[in-house]
Amino acid sequence: MSSSAELQKTIEDMIDAERGILAADESTGTMTKRLAAVGVDSTEENRRWYRTMLLSTPDVGKYISGVIFYEETLGQKDDNGTPLAELAASQGIVPGIKVDKGKGELPGAPGDMITYGLDGLAERLDGYKAQGARFAKWREVYPITDHNPTALGLTANAEMLARYAAVCQAAGIVPIVEPEVLIDGNHSMERAAEVNEQVWHAVFHALHQHGVVLEHMILKPSMVTPGKDRGPAAPEEVAEMTLRILRRTVPAAVPSINFLSGGQTPEQATANLNALNQLRDRAPWQLSMSYGRALQEHAMQAWGGDPANREKAQQAFFKRARLNSLARQGQYQAQQEQAA
């Protein structure tokens, strides 16, 4: 199969009108914090058991089309010795891999960040592909302040995303391009819209320069929301502003926009996704999700480290996946939160 055909097949397997992506790619440090919050030690065995539990939830492939793994998880197996990538694929869930190596300060641009990990990426992708990964994810982070992101921050981060995406496509791996504009702060919704517009414009300019095929990538952006310190905006406001800025900056050739939840509660993330899909006649792309905590938080709380809670935790995960599938179709209602 040619690289182009391989990329197209992955896109077709991952994108439809009802399903979304599970982001299970928390680093060991992030996973340690999440597990500590429910009183669980972050051992490799506990991390393996928990992610096996999620992926073995009966019929969850009806609502989840892809899963982003952390490097550790891609190499793990379930209790029967089946690699977790195979376990996902058996449910019709495409396995993927987070490939960036974390972030640090961007020299010359105080307050801005830059992500590491381009060195050796092509070789690493070959290894990940051999383990079953068919897509990848790379995250750049943009704090909002009165002076951030700077012009250098916009250009440097876009360049990293574009170089990563080009390397992925050359390897037959679909890139998820994630420019995360952080929700932290007291900024207005208008300021968030301004920054997201600058970010998305810079990213697609760089993608074009590097020859990235837009039909064979997925965009994972933030929704346009006010800073967390201001409290949430109504879902209708979030949807209207987000779609307005996306229409200005994202070419119609991109097949799917899979939003990150980025500090929203599970309920907020679902309501906002639903509001976006109620405007989907104005969107040339699929409007989906690539949620981590917003899909997992209730399941992790229900589990609490006790294997006896496996079924209860799987039910919580399945419910969240189902509600987000309804939101994908613009059919979610708040009262459905109370239904089993």
Element (H, E) at 105: strand 103-105
The topology under which CATH files domain 3-329 is TIM Barrel (3.20.20)
CA dihedral 62, 48, 53, 135 (to 10 degrees): 0
Distance separating alpha carbons of residues 294 and 292, to the nearest angstrom: 5
Amino acid identity of 155? T
| pLDDT tens digits, 296-338 | 999 999 999 999 999 999 999 999 999 999 999 999 987 888 7
- pTM score: 0.97
Residue type, 45: E
Spatial distance between the Cα atoms of 237 and 219, rounded to a whole number of angstroms: 21
Tell me how far apart the alpha carbons of residues 291 and 321 are, in angstroms, rounded to a whole number: 10
Active site residue 178: yes
pLDDT tier at 255, thresholds 50, 70, 90: very high
Q: Which of 178, 180, 297, 319 is catalytic?
A: 178
From residue 201, alpha-carbon distances to 182, 221, 288 in Å are 17, 12, 20
Residue 105 pairs in a beta bridge with 113
pLDDT for residue 340: 55
Mean pLDDT of the chain: 96
In the predicted structure, residue 1 carries a pLDDT above the cut 80: no
CA distances for 186 relative to 89, 123, 190, 275, 286, angstroms: 42, 42, 12, 23, 30
User: Can 220 be counted among the known catalytic residues?
Assistant: yes
Mean pLDDT of 185-205: 98
Q: Which of 26, 220, 297, 319 is catalytic?
A: 220
227-248 pLDDT per residue, tens? 999 999 999 999 999 999 999 9
* Contact between residue 180 and residue 13 where contact means Cβ atoms under 8 Å apart: no
pLDDT score recorded for residue 335:
80
Residue 337: per-residue pLDDT: 86
How do residues 35-83 score in pLDDT, each as one tens digit? 999 999 999 999 999 999 999 999 999 999 999 999 999 999 999 999 9
